[in-house]
Amino acid sequence: MPLTEELQFHIKIRRDDAGGYAILPGDPGRCEKIAAYLEEPEHIGSNREFNIWRGKISGERVLVCSTGIGGPSTAIAVEELAACGVHTFIRVGTCGGIVLGVRPGDIVIASGAVRQDGTSREYAPLEFPAVPDTDVLVALREAADKLGYASHTGIVQSKDSFYGQHSPGKMAVAGELLAKWEAWKKLRVLASEMEASTLFTVGSLLGVRAGAVFHVIWNQERAAAGLDSHADESHDTERAIKTAVTAVGLLIKRGGFPPA
């Protein structure tokens, strides 16, 4: 990925502002909470959906940059952060469970993503898989285990429409949406979210490392089966955040990227 000293058009930072690692929440309001786990946290800028904090882990600079919701703004953040020298990205967000064993409050670590988004199609043919970097995936799994969290590793579904999942019946393409949802259930897709497929595909093209960890808010399939009530809904993202921060620390300790 060619680096540049120019001010980035959307995120409004330069190479001197960045480091090698970035944690990517969707919600701009979550950035300060994540940055509080870093050494010497400081706010360095905000433009549109891109709220950016900076800190350190083991002396290495780590950025926290929100991406907003969905693939288009995620791709912009990754493109511009990579141009500033970021080589390792971890998405930390929320998801809805699909497999019955995925419970509210659990952690899901993506080993791949169904490319039911539009952005990644402008980066690679649909035959190309959306998968994380192996080192990042391993670090996330080790971090969750180290912290003692209930976690699941597997494929997630990345979609472009939140309400296409939650209210498919009202859509003009209801039959298609419902048939695909049944397919994801049969294929044991763990959860549904909106950014991983873009992150993984863009990362592959740019030659950077990427991974993703999610907090499970709710599982509509468990609710439909009578296993959960609305009282079981979970909104505390601390476990996913701690998993991401711990994984970054493991990756920094191991080094070795970018390759010589």
For the chain, the domains span 15-254
Average pLDDT taken over every residue of the chain: 97
Residue 110 pairs in a beta bridge with: 154
φ, ψ dihedrals at 212, nearest 5°: -150, 140
Residue 6 has pLDDT above 90, yes or no: yes
Supply 16's token pair. 């001197």
Whether the model clears a pTM of 0.85, i.e. scores above it, the answer is yes
What is residue 181's predicted lDDT score, i.e. its pLDDT? 98
CATH number (3.40.50.2300, 3.50.50.60, 3.40.50.1580, 3.40.50.150) of 15-254 reads: 3.40.50.1580
**119 and 198 in contact (C-beta within 8 Å)?**
yes
Cα separations (Å) of 253 from 58, 62, 82, 107?
Answer: 8, 13, 21, 23
3-state secondary structure of 36: coil
Cα-based distances in Å from 96 to 69, 196, 214, 251:
15, 13, 9, 27
Integer Cα distance of 164 and 230 in angstroms: 21
The pLDDT, as a whole number, for residue 4 is 86
DSSP 8: P
Residue 258: asked if its preceding bond is cis (omega within 30°), the reply is: yes
